[in-house]
Amino acid sequence: MAQLNLTESEKNEIIELIKQGKPLPKEYIYKLYANDEDVFLFWNGRNETVTNVVLPFHSIEHIDEPRKEQQPEGMMGDLFATDFQGRQLKGWTNKLIWGDNKLILSSLVNGPMREEIEKQGGLKLIYIDPPFAVGADFSYNITVNGEDVTKQQSIIEEIAYRDTWGRGISSYLSMMYERLKLMHQLLAEDGSIYVHCDWRVNNYLKILLDDVFGKENFRNEIAWCYRGGGVPKNDFAPKHETILRYTKTGNYYFNVDDIRIPYSDDVLRSDVSRYDKSYRDSKVYEGYRPNELGKHPEDWWTIQPLMPSDKTERVDYPTQKPIELIQRIIDASSKPGDVVLDAFCGSGTIPVVAEGRRVKRIKLNKEKEKLEYYFKEGRKWIAIDISRFAIHTTRKRMIQVQRELKQVGKPYRAFEVLNLGKYERQFFMGMYNAKNVGAIHESPLQESPLQDAKYEKYINLILEGYSAQRVQGHKYLHGKKAGRFVHVGPLSVPVTKTMVEEVFEECRQNLITQVDILGFEFEMGLVPYIKDELRQRGVDIRLRYIPREVFDKRAVEKGQVKFYDVAYVQVRPHIKGKTVQIELTNFTTNYTQDDLEELEKTLNKGKSKVVIENGQIIKLTKDQNGILQREVLTKNWVDWIDYWSVDFDYESKKEIIRIEENGEVKEVWTGNYIFENIWQSFRTKKNQKIELTTAPFTFDKAGRYKIMVKVVDIVGVDTSHIVEIEVK
């Protein structure tokens, strides 16, 4: 046994510090591990424990752009089956997952979806572009009637940022270490990982990746070089970023022929002219002849980033990477049909390229060239992000890719939008139990498994986040804030009409006229019911969303948690026989982002700012004399709509999830239905117009149907509405 390089007094001091629960000085830690390795990677907060939680994935939406009945010959091949409308019926469905990638990766590694991935040959490629900029700003711009509005980052993104950089580089390493360990477990034995980083964290990530993947599996330090932008006076211009490439083992896939770079005409001519014809025709020269596919690429790549003027690729996402960069990675380290993963997907370039989108450079003359876009065989993909805006941006890009593939007669796969939903909330409260996944009747208005100390803890947590005081002596009224009583809705199921009526009745009996009902989800049609009926009967009921941020103690303590009023969608069905069209007729929101009065005080003379308050986007201007002017930019409710989609036969497909219990995987119905995105319209950078009436949809047979309409507004918030119709 190796002797510790410690004196008796040092040993005694270490024992005392451990007894008192105090941290050890770094010099003692180094001495304790001095005999383990020549170099030991240590930072404050390093923890070898890796999350192994398994939570089910909740299906938010299933998207498969409808195809024509008559397909071009050979279009689908044997990839997957379709019905007469062109819907994908079986096979792998691509996955766009919203949430914390640590919990998502852990659920992929340890849960039933791992088996689904392995059936596809395993995960062959991971690309990640993790956050590396201290002080990063995750806000983004939206355009309303010609004016740019800054949508502030969500509290969730702020929390993720604080978790990443709260203690500086040590907390960044802790965040990355656990996620890289999970990715290492998930990656196939012949798989590769590319980690995109820059000068702020290059040296740290290199050592961290050596630790997780093994320094023997390091392959390349790729320099992504580019031109343009500002040039410092007293320094070299920083015009490159770094991509670190590792493999799981020494047996890995690499396809150089798909990433060769074409030789220029000058190089080809000069190469040939050096030799006489007899030598060029000989077998000796054959080995030196330039490969007709192009030259073997170096580990430095000259690829231009996306410029603000770009009108083809650019989607105004701050960290968007060019297709030309990503396609080199995907083509080099994966084959058609392989599964690829991006755990920080941002604008969604990895899924776009994985679906088959490619670009090549076409020489126009010596000075000029152009980019030509085309499609080739695609890969299967999984994309993850914590940002709602990133998920929404990626969803729109992928629908656009589906449409383009359909137009050129090429195959593509359906994709589904997933999250951990109520299971994540249950996990945060220590209430998750796989045995209860299929239980769909949880209600705080009746006796239930949650009516215990944990449920009381949940109520108190939500009231604290809402800055409300707990009240006693009522059955359904839990708190009070600024003269309004507060009811906290259930953790795992929507607030229903029955629940609202129970709250209303208690208010009526106690002569209470104002109440806020808080919930994570709400049954369709509650807003008009409350507005048209209950308010007329003397009780002002306001529905407000409980944000996911309420589970973060720091956000609660700082008063950063915002509860938003539930928006309301109105639609009108147009029915003719068995054919129906849905018209979007109104959208009401009370979304607030800014404090208008505070901004009026702090705005400098001669300046203007666009703000969001109570469902209005307002341009605030202060002239040189200090006189304020307000201009409402949202002239019409349509200005709020960024995207809307329709499922013409909602409740036709139950949400069945796979859970593991006692070593066995079983399928259970969650009580929910999958939203099948059959028609959609959305704004793009190129086209800001949005359709307000769907294309005609014809049902196979007469009957009653439920149609669900989903709206995503310009700040990324979802609102849904169900309308029941009868066709004859």
CA distance 637 to 335: 47
**Amino acid of residue 103:** L
How high is the pLDDT of residue 611?
A: 75
Low pLDDT (below 70) residues in the chain: 1-4, 33-40, 66-89, 132-167, 265-289, 435-452, 593-596
Q: Please, are residues 96 and 416 in contact by the beta-carbon 8 Å criterion?
A: yes
How high is the pLDDT of residue 527?
A: 83
How high is the pLDDT of residue 578?
A: 93
Q: What is the b/e burial string over 190-204, where b = at least 16 CB atoms within 10 angstroms of the residue's CB? A: bbbbbbbbeeebbeb
How high is the pLDDT of residue 698?
A: 93
Nearby residues of 576 by Cβ (< 8 Å), 6 or more positions away: none
Q: Please, are residues 488 and 478 in contact by the beta-carbon 8 Å criterion?
A: yes
Nearby residues of 125 by Cβ (< 8 Å), 6 or more positions away: 191, 192, 193, 194, 329, 330, 333, 334, 338, 339, 340, 341, 379
How high is the pLDDT of residue 441?
A: 42
703-713 vs 718-727, strand pairing mode: antiparallel
For residue 398, the 8-state DSSP code is: H
Nearby residues of 380 by Cβ (< 8 Å), 6 or more positions away: 92, 94, 120, 337, 338, 339, 340, 354, 413
Tally the residues of the chain: 728
What are the φ/ψ torsions at residue 142 (nearest 5 degrees)?
A: -125, 150
> Could you tell me the domains of the chain?
1-40 (no CATH), 58-260+297-419 (3.40.50.150), 265-295 (no CATH), 438-557 (3.40.1350), 572-727 (no CATH)
CA distance 631 to 144: 12
Report in angstroms the alpha-carbon separations of 74 from 240, 376, 403, 409, 513: 44, 15, 18, 9, 66
Q: Please, are residues 268 and 290 in contact by the beta-carbon 8 Å criterion?
A: yes
Report in angstroms the alpha-carbon separations of 667 from 204, 303, 409, 655: 43, 47, 36, 10
How high is the pLDDT of residue 69?
A: 33
How high is the pLDDT of residue 22?
A: 82
Q: Please state the pTM of the whole predicted model.
A: 0.85
How high is the pLDDT of residue 135?
A: 43
Torsion of CA 487, 488, 493, 494, to 10 degrees: 50
How high is the pLDDT of residue 127?
A: 98
pLDDT in tens, 275-295: 555 554 555 555 556 777 888
Nearest to 527 by CA among 558, 480, 472, 567: 567
How high is the pLDDT of residue 312?
A: 84
CA distance 709 to 645: 6
CA distance 364 to 351: 30
How high is the pLDDT of residue 595?
A: 67
CA distance 631 to 596: 13
Angle at 490 between CA 444 and CA 724, to 5 degrees: 105
Angle at 712 between CA 709 and CA 716, to 5 degrees: 160
Nearest to 419 by CA among 645, 96, 109: 96
Q: Rounded to an integer, what is the distance from CA 437 to the centroid of its chain?
A: 24
Name the percent of the chain lying above pLDDT 90: 43
